[in-house]
Amino acid sequence: MDGDAGRIPALCAGISAPPAVQRDSSAAASARVFRLEVACGLCLTNPASPSPAPRAWFERFVGHVASLGFVQSKADSSLFVYNRDGATAYLLLYVDDMILSASTPNLLHRVITRLHDTFAVKDMGPVRHFLGFNVRRNSEGFFLSQTQYAEELLEHAGMANCKPVTTPADTKSKPSNADGELITDATSYRSIAGALQYLTISRPDIAYAVQQVCLHMHAPRDMHQTMLKRIMRYIKGTLRLGVQLRAARTPTITVYSDADWAGYPDTRRSTSGFCVFLGNSLISWSSKRQTTVSRSTAEAEYRAIANAVAECSWLRHLLGELLCKVPSATIAFCDNISSVYMSRNPVHHRRTKHIEQDIHFVREKVAIGEVRVMHVPSARQIADVFTNGLPSALFFDFRDSLSVTDGDVETAGGVNGNSSATASACTRTTAS
């Protein structure tokens, strides 16, 4: 396992509401959850396919929502967008769970009524839980957390009463594959490490530490198990933390990119890390080992920039399909001056010939005005939290910059929890 990445759908990332929502405050006054059970009437058996039912059901679902006026996203095949006569709706499907968000209550009810033609829909109230996530609206936007999941994980690991620590990873050099003795229960190690990956979706502060322990799942040793237990002890003391998403009236994309050059003692590969912000909301992040050895710091940093720019290009496309155009260039911050110069200088050198694909990709985005690569001092390089273990003070500073909080914010309307502020629904679908 070479890495770990998290991404929050831009649909939920606090983008400004469609114009219809901004004009009609009553439209932003219903948030409901639904459960669906499907009666498709299809023959879902096909001896030529090992698992024909899910594909056949999805094709039927796509056809049905298309008949309602939804268009399937090219950036994410599970996302569907409705935009007619100034009314907007988003539908996000995951297996048999679905979120439906509409700009007006009338549109929401009309879509649900049409879904009744094929699905049995059960109203489950405001959206509070989805795929193990707690969703809470407050005065700043939405707060996403996985507190219950983290508590269950601690119980599963037998560490519910462990002593908390302040950071998920120490500041020492990255461990070798041969450090320490092989542990006797590798299955438990793999189970906990795998479960932690899902927790990183709402906890970017543990992304680097989890990525490190996942690198040793094939043959975990006692030193790696100590690293795993440290993450669990950190989670014990930060159970309430999650990601705060804030509305962005003028959508702008900013990315911080960093690399730890030749940090792995066994292969001397580098670690890439980036975090992407939409306005002030963190919507995507990554901590990943690079696939090849870099011959210099600049090369490692430039590869990290290329990965970050590729992610931003995908996000711009997704936001465009969500009718949220990004008018300005993406600002990519890097703390390596040589990498900044390479993104602007069209002259090729022998030292950069072997990374020309990454260079041409980034330069092309810079040339068309989609990306600007700029220098940031290392002391303000937020992405450093995805490539290294940091001292407590710096770690806390960067964690706050990532909008990782305990969600203790006064809610809209003065109610601690879900105040109704957008027409949305959550549905569950099961093929019959």
Average pLDDT over residues 238-251: 92
Q: Are residues 256 and 316 in the same domain?
A: yes
Q: What single string gives the DSSP state of each residue in 178-237?
A: TSSPBPS-HHHHHHHHHHHHHHTTT-GGGHHHHHHHHTTTTS-BHHHHHHHHHHHHHHHH
Please state, rounded to an integer, the average pLDDT across all residues of the chain.
83
φ, ψ for residue 289, nearest 5 deg: -75, 135
Same structural domain, 154 and 131: no
Which of 217, 240, 263 terminates a domain? The answer is: 240
* Predicted local confidence at residue 343, as pLDDT: 86
Report yes or no on 401 lying in a domain.
no
373-419 confidence digits (pLDDT tens): 999 999 999 999 999 999 999 999 999 999 999 987 543 333 344 33
| Statement to judge: residues 60 and 113 lie in one domain | yes
Q: In this predicted structure, what is the pLDDT of residue 145?
A: 96
Is residue 90 within 8 Å of residue 100, measured between CB atoms?
yes
The residue ranking higher by pLDDT, 150 or 423, is 150
Domain of 221, in residue numbers: 146-240
- Pairwise CA distance, residues 144 & 243, whole Å: 5
Distance CA 425, CA 86 (A): 20
Question: Would 404 be classed as within a structural domain?
Answer: no
Question: 328 and 372: one domain?
Answer: yes
Of 240, 258, 288, which residue constitutes the final position of a domain?
240
Residues 384-398 as b/e (b if ≥16 CB within 10 A, e otherwise) read: bbbbbbbeeeebeeb
Q: Are 414 and 373 in contact (CB under 8 A)?
A: no
Point out which residues pair with 254 in neighbouring strands: 277, 331
Is 263 within a domain? yes
Determine the pLDDT at residue 15.
46
Report the pLDDT value the prediction gives residue 342, as an integer from 0 to 100.
86
Residue 276 falls within a domain, yes or no?
A: yes
Are 370 and 256 contained in the same domain?
yes
Would you state the pLDDT for residue 407?
Answer: 80
Q: Where are the beta strands (DSSP E) in 8-86?
A: 33-38, 71-72, 79-84
Q: Is there a single domain that holds both residue 197 and residue 321?
A: no
Q: In the prediction, which pLDDT does 95 show?
A: 79
Residue 273 within any structural domain of the chain: yes
Q: Are residues 379 and 284 in the same domain?
A: yes
Length of the chain: 432
367 found inside a domain = yes
Name the pTM for this structure. 0.85
* DSSP-derived secondary structure letter, 422: S
Is there a single domain that holds both residue 167 and residue 118?
A: no
Residues 295 and 364 placed together within one structural domain of the fold: yes
Q: How many CB atoms are closer than 10 A to CB 52?
A: 15
Closest C-alpha to 286, from 2, 1, 3: 3
Give the pLDDT score at 5.
57
Give the angle subtended at the CA of 243 by the CAs of 217 and 212, to the nearest 5°.
Answer: 20
Determine the average pLDDT of the residues in 134-147. Answer: 92
Whether 261 and 361 map to the same domain: the answer is: yes
Q: Which of 173, 206, 240 is the last residue of a domain?
A: 240
CATH number, domain of 331, equals 3.30.420.10
Quick one: 364 and 294 in the same domain? Answer: yes
What residues does 427 pair with on adjacent strands? 98
Provide the number of structural domains found in the chain: 3
Reported in sequence order, the residue ranges of 249-361 that DSSP labels E, i.e. its strands, are 253-260, 271-278, 281-289, 330-334
pLDDT, greater one: 425 or 92:
92
Decide: 21 and 300 in contact? Cβ < 8 Å. no
With respect to residue 117, please indicate whether it lies within any of the assigned structural domains. yes
Residue 219 lies in a domain: yes
- Same domain for 172 and 254, yes or no, is no
